[in-house]
Amino acid sequence: MATDVEIDDSLYSRQRYVLGDSAMKRMAQSSILLYGVGGLGAEIAKNIVLAGIKSLTIQDPAITTRHDLGTQFFLREEDAQAGRNRAEATVGRLSELNPYVSIDTVTSDIDLTSDLSYLKDFQCVILTDLPLQVRVRINQFCRSQSPQIKFLSADVYGLFSGAFCDFGDKFEVMDPNGEEPKETFIASITKDNPGVVTSLDNKMHGFESQDTITFKEVNGMTILNGRQVKIEVISPYAFTIGDTTGEEFGVYESGGIATQVKVPKTLQFNSMEVELKQPSIMLLDFRKWEIPIHVHVGFIALDRFREQNQRFPNVWCKSDAAEMVRLAQDIASQLDEKLSSIHTDVIESISFTCKGCFAPLCAAQGGIIAQEAIKALTGKFTPMKQWLYLDALDLLNDTDRQQPELFKARGDRYDQLRICIGENCMRKFAAVKLFMVGCGAIGCEMLKNYALMGIGTDHKGQIIITDNDLIEKSNLNRQFLFRPHHIQKPKSVTAAESVLQINPDLHIVPQQNKVCPQTEESTYPDRFYENLDIVVNALDNVEARRYVDSRCVTSQRPLLESGTMGTKGHTQVIVPHLTESYVSQRDPPDEEVPYCTLKSFPANIEHCIQWARDKFESSFVHKPSNFNKFWSNAGNIKEIIEKLKTGQSVDGAVTTSKLLKLHLNTWYDCIRIGRHKFEKLFNHKARHLLDAFPLETRLADGTLFWQSPKRPPVPLQFNLNDPQHLSFVISSARLYADIFGVQWTQKDLEPVAVKSILSKVDIPPYVPTNKKVETVETKVSKEVEISGDELVEAAVRIQETLQNENNEKGLKLLKPAEFEKDDDSNGHIDFITDAANLRASMYHIESSDRLQVKRIAGHIVPAIATTTAAVAGMISIELVKVVEKFPREKYTNCFLNLALPIMLLSEPGPAERTVIREGLSFTIWDRWEVKGHKDLTLKEFLQYFKVTYGFEASMVGQGVKLVYVPFMPQHQKRLTQPMLKLLKASNNQKYVDLVVSFAAADEEDIPGPPVRYFFGL
């Protein structure tokens, strides 16, 4: 990153939402040494460089071979042919990822006699591909320094990976989880020992025991305001805060907010030497809870085998595996907690595959280790304690294990993969037809994995990718296939070109289509999906995921689903007739903010930001759009004017007349209206609320109207010397000028020039009004009633405007804004930030920085490359299982949070079964097919279900159209009509999908599975 430690917001914007400015700045001053740039090292390097540290040094004495091309995506065939050093061959392409990171290379080796003094230049050291004794020595050196150098070690051997973390004797974690501090409004605080705090309106506080919280705005027991206390949770709605019986506490009266405080904590780590014998191992999969300790022993045995034999065990060599088992048994007996027996299958599998390297494991482990390195530099998030083992042992099936020849190296780029999964699986990979929707962050990582795995390289195989987006600068921080010169180019086309450089054998077809109902018939019909082997989601929104899931269910195709949000990620395997689908599990809906809260009674900054976003849409998008629509649809203007004069409402007329009233023809006019807007929103609005509800107002039960969470507003007095006040006027004026086509220059935006104009602007006085203030939370926004006087006034204003313009066509259409969060030059986020913070000031709510406003207003999903890499690696492991058609118990869904860090691996849920009657049931994957003919009537169609399934059909529907409902009289006439006439069918359509429900005794109708009716033409 830049030497002045300034952060390029357009490049790092999504990551800043995850790490924050302080962590980003600490990274910008830090240096890392990474030893070994094989497959795992390349993944770690990629993620660290994308994250944006000051400098990275990659050290590797190895020479590039074709063997490396199966896992190391920065290396090329020409590097292997030239025998280039791996570090030197990598550095050029690695440097392209981030111009702000300085990258150096070292080509010397490290052994037990090496001078380690050069490591003092680094804050963190990461080791791969080194003997265990050397790693122990380096770890001891790092611990001996002051300050201690943070130490990480990781390796991938075949289908197994392991990682170790040691951040020293005292490592301070500034923010354990990275979550926004939780906050709850208070209903009561008891005067007791301990005092009990209860949340308002029975809303869950979200705190945990031993959390530290602080109070503000408490009335009565005011001594708590500003005080920090540790709590004990007694229910989701209450917690204790210690003794509140003392006289100094007073008696709680009302109000108050309890806010979680992030308190730094200090962690202590053991050295690698200690942890080898008494390992602290993270448990990832409760189905295989006993496996990690055996992998730990197996890795130590592998290193000992290499030390004794000066080589790794040979590929699928039983005698070498037997020796590995003996070594493992000896090591197991030396652990502090001795293992009574060894999991022989695990040790043998490590021995059989260790000369290979499974690329998806490199991706997953590379994301995890890079995130740990970021923690080491920043103190942001909780480090892992201290070992993590991740395996793909399930990929070895019993049939292939009996044929060792399938795993032998053949001297090509796929040898490392072949050693792991065998030639038969490799051939299936090559012939796969895969469709990936989305080519963003996850999509880029997926494509890299597919290139390394040889997906779609056979003449029968193919990868089809689609994404209708163009590349933006903010994408470069995590979408590693893209470079600065790709900005504004199509994502799919660019990703295809980039991944072909990794593996030219790929058969890849880039498209720029949306996958949605509008392209269902023309571009991606049923026959498209039916020609695929697998579909992969690389999407960033739930709606699109649900749609692709529905298409996979209809076409009965497996779907690999994944997603990320900051340090959190998920993967889900969806297999026809085996697992539930994506829509089977639904997240709880987001809690909607009541209309009256947003409009008049905000309680937090989020409410203010949403209000400001709504104001932007109303003022600069909807109103000018309606203005243009009015004139486009106006027809006879004289007739419209006459209608308005007689009190008849005309769509858009009042809005149009108000915009005509503004008379924005000069920059002075725009500043004037910006100043008027300030007065209306932040002064007059507050005064109106206080007129409607004076501070002493009480509710029917005698309690004060203005009490938490309702805050009484304070009318803001405009101050020329307040930067926020001035900024709001300027940002408003800019937007109005752009809409009305008024020219302005940068000089016009200067405070001196704006102040000069404002000194001449008349301010409209506050006029009390009887306009009702909505206070009922269940009420929603409704259309504002327009009075007859307003309609007449609109008629007069439109008529005067036309007379001044001399003709109806003389009116100039407006240019509505199109909200764009990523263009900082358009002033959109400036307006929303100013408006939100002024509203917050009016209600005594803590203000927000521009970054947070941009995230909330722009609905930006926080993102970081480390999580993306880990998630893409985990779901790519499942691709092998889908191709091999594994049983459900072999598949793995994953939820991870690298901030904590946790990874939870679990078996996918089964497809839920719906019982129609005893002996007749179905799942979401089932489909009934009815073969018809051109003369088949609706009555005959219904008879088919009665005869075949023993049920009377109670409803037949096609999409949103009701084809047959028995109790509707007109539908009885349809019984004799042909199905061909009743159903909507496009040209050459051979079938339609219908919904048929069945009547059940004393119960609601039961919807059956989808029914595909073939016309038989």
Give residue 3's pLDDT band: very low, low, confident or very high (50, 70, 90): very low
CB 698 within 8 A of CB 704: yes
Does residue 2 carry a pLDDT above 60? no
Q: What percent of the chain has pLDDT over 70?
A: 96
Q: What's the pLDDT at 860? A: 87
Does residue 225 carry a pLDDT above 80? yes
CB 849 within 8 A of CB 626: no
Average pLDDT over residues 68-94: 97
Q: Report the candidate in 255, 183, 245, 186 with the shortest Cα–Cα distance to residue 220.
A: 255
Average pLDDT over residues 393-418: 89
Classify residue 912 by its DSSP letter.
Answer: P
Neighbour-count burial of 473, counting CB atoms closer than 10 A to its CB (0-12 exposed, 13-18 middle, 19+ buried): middle
Going by C-beta distance under 8 Å and a sequence separation of 6 or more, which residues neighbour residue 135? 127, 153, 272
Domains and CATH numbers, the chain: 9-173 (3.40.50.720), 183-261 (2.40.30.180), 595-857 (1.10.10.2660), 913-1014 (3.10.290.60)
What is the Cα 59 distance to its own chain's centre?
Answer: 34
**What residues act catalytically?**
596
pLDDT digits (tens, 9 = 90+) for 25-39: 999 999 999 999 999
Helix (H) or strand (E) segment spanning residue 56: strand 55-59
Q: How far apart are alpha carbons 497 and 578 in whole angstroms?
A: 36
Q: What's the pLDDT at 219? A: 93
Classify residue 940 by its DSSP letter.
Answer: H
Q: What's the pLDDT at 890? A: 95
Q: What's the pLDDT at 810? A: 44
Q: What's the pLDDT at 564? A: 96
Does residue 779 carry a pLDDT above 70? no
Average pLDDT over residues 191-216: 95
Q: How far apart are alpha carbons 640 and 54 in whole angstroms?
A: 66
Strand ranges (E), 863-960: 893-897, 902-906, 913-917, 920-923, 928-931, 953-958
Does residue 279 carry a pLDDT above 80? yes
Average pLDDT over residues 947-961: 89
Q: What's the pLDDT at 366? A: 98
The CA distances from residue 132 to 112, 303, 305, 433, in Å, are 10, 6, 11, 42
Does residue 585 carry a pLDDT above 90? no
What is the per-residue DSSP string for 11-62? HHHHHHHHH-HHHHHHHTT-EEEEE--SHHHHHHHHHHHHHT-SEEEEE--P
Omega of the bond leading into 147 within 30 degrees of 0 (cis): yes
Q: How far apart are alpha carbons 423 and 464 in whole angstroms?
A: 24
Average pLDDT over residues 559-564: 97
Q: What's the alpha-carbon Rg for the chain, to the nearest Å? A: 33
Q: How far apart are alpha carbons 994 and 586 in whole angstroms?
A: 24
- 80 or 1002: which leads in pLDDT: 80
First-to-final CA distance of the chain:
66
Q: What's the pLDDT at 1002? A: 59
Q: What's the pLDDT at 402? A: 81
Give residue 14's pLDDT band: very low, low, confident or very high (50, 70, 90): confident
Going by C-beta distance under 8 Å and a sequence separation of 6 or more, which residues neighbour residue 165? 151, 152, 269, 372, 383, 384, 385, 386, 388
Name the residue with tokens 């169609």: 941
Omega of the bond leading into 901 within 30 degrees of 0 (cis): yes
CB 875 within 8 A of CB 850: no
